[in-house]
Amino acid sequence: MAVNWIPGPGPTNGADVGISDAASDNFNGLGGNDSLYGNAGNDLLQGGDGIDYLSGGDGNDTIVGNRGNDTFIGGNGNDRLIWNNGDGSDRISGNAGYDVVEVNGAGVGDNFRLEQDAQGRAIFDRLNLVPFTLTVDSAERFEINGGGGDDILDVNNLSATSVNAVWFTGGAGNDVLDGSGTATPLRAFGGEGNDSLTGGTGNDSLYGDTGNDLLRGGDGIDYLSGGDGNDTIVGNRGNDTFTGGYGNDRLIWNNGDGSDRISGNAGYDVVEVNGAGVGDNFRLQQDAQGRAIFDRLNLVPFTLTVDSAERFEINGGGGDDILDVNNLSGTSVNAVWFTGGAGNDFLDGSGTATPLRAFGGEGNDILYGGAGNDNLYGDAGNDTLRGGKGNDILTGGAGSDRFVFNSGTGYNSADLGVNKITDFSSYSDKIVLDKTTFAGLNDLYQITIVANDAAAATSYGLITYSLGTGNLFFNQNSISPGLGTGSLFANIDNDNNQYTTPPLLSATNFEIVA
């Protein structure tokens, strides 16, 4: 291993020429405008101060320009071409092999931009602090390390360059990567801090790391990992993989996105689905592996395969939306929220025991709960609400609403629970009772209004409403003491105050159906 120095015998602070032999050499030009030639071998060339010319030659070389506006020539081999904070504006050619341009920022918040010029060269700029420019004729990958501070990297179109990968490590601080302007695959590590990482049209890998991060995949098949913290992850187009990591994460699918694989991991994680606005037909169920499977069955179909998440929030948007919720007992899902939006929406939760929360929105909506304790809100329009099993809260909202009690079989208190109606209007709403469920009920005269709960148990009516409490009973054995096989099945409390008088009802506020 030897370096021939001109004028020699070694490097000086003047203008030196260093020429390596065929071995792997490590040499530094020190001060002055130096020319260093690595020749064969895996060499380390350091330009020192000055305007240096650094040529690695054959082998897998490492070239560090140091201060001054330097020229790097990688030569044959897989070379690493390094810019450190404080260096100048350099001209870089990796030449043959797989070459990496490494940029190490200031540690106090860099504003970087990477784009191409009209000659097909990659142009890397820092726009703040001490600005500089790297003009890169050829290299296959950029590795950009922000260091500390709030760093920004804006990656634009690189299609005419030789660059086929961009890696970004933000380090500590609230960092921003905007790769929306490129199709070049991105790999980003946000590091500590609340980072915002946005991919492009390539297949990107974005890792938020510690902090409350925002990750957006862009087009392409992306891998998005939030890491620690309460993260928000948006897949965008393409079939993506979401991993929430530790923390309470929000994992978002928007209309037009692909079929994604989602794992919330530790914490309380929410899968948010935003529909098309023209009438979605959604289905939520479990598979044999205990995963939650969310499908759209119309428009452009897609599937979300959810290994772990605690809640689904499904927003239909405009149009007549359908959501069918089936058994989820083998999954980690413990709540399903549905917002229908404008349109005549239909929620069928009769197949699940998972608690439901539904807002019908504008339109004439039909909301059916399941075996859990559900909260159904019709909102504007003439809505139909059926709680199903469980102790449900039913709110019709504006319009002429129907509150349906129908178990599909003979009366069993467990099949109906005790539902609370929060806004019954005696002028426009109806309580709808099924003949099969309430056996023997055939006419409105069998519905009586009594002063208190005690009177309900000895009333001649099969259905009795207590003016004292707002309680609604099935009095199966009529005037005989007790309720027989009947029970309390609903309560009307329009102001959620037990000390105020419930609404005054009459038999005409009821409807009997077969």
Q: What is the pLDDT of residues 161-219, one digit of tens each?
A: 999 999 999 999 999 999 999 999 999 999 999 999 999 999 999 999 999 999 999 99
- pLDDT value of position 1: 42
Specify the amino acid at residue 6.
I
- Measured from the Cβ of residue 467, the count of other Cβ atoms closer than 10 Å reads 16
Buried b (16+ CB within 10 A) or exposed e, 242-259: bbbbebbbbbbbebebbb
| Tokens, residue 440 | 């023997």
Specify the amino acid at residue 412.
N
> What is the rounded average pLDDT of the residues 419-446?
97
- pLDDT value of position 4: 58
- pLDDT value of position 171: 97
- pLDDT value of position 40: 85
- pLDDT value of position 8: 56
Specify the amino acid at residue 248.
N
The residue among 14 and 238 whose pLDDT is bigger is: 238
- pLDDT value of position 13: 64
68 close to 50: Cβ distance less than 8 angstroms = yes
**Band of the pLDDT at 500, cuts 50, 70, 90?**
confident
**Mean pLDDT (the chain, rounded):** 95
Our measurement of the distance from residue 396's CA atom to the centroid of its chain's CA atoms, rounded to an integer in Å, reads 31
Is residue 15 pLDDT above 60, yes or no? no
Pairing of strands 281-286, 270-274: unpaired
452 close to 475: Cβ distance less than 8 angstroms = no
- pLDDT value of position 3: 56
- pLDDT value of position 27: 79
The greatest distance separating any two alpha carbons of the chain, rounded to the nearest whole angstrom, comes to: 120
Q: Where are the beta strands (DSSP E) in 146-185?
A: 152-155, 165-169, 176-178
Query: At 349, phi and psi to the nearest 5?
Result: -105, 15
- pLDDT value of position 153: 99
- pLDDT value of position 231: 99
pLDDT tens-digit profile of 73-114? 999 999 999 999 999 999 999 999 999 999 999 989 999 999
How far, in Å, are 226, 233, 260, 408 from residue 269 at the CA level? 12, 11, 16, 35
Residues contacting 379, CB < 8 A, separation 6+: 359, 360, 361, 362, 365, 397, 398
59 close to 106: Cβ distance less than 8 angstroms = no
> What is the rounded average pLDDT of the residues 472-485?
93
From first CA to last CA, the distance across the chain in angstroms is 98
> What is the rounded average pLDDT of the residues 49-68?
95
Cα separation of 124 and 119, whole Å? 14
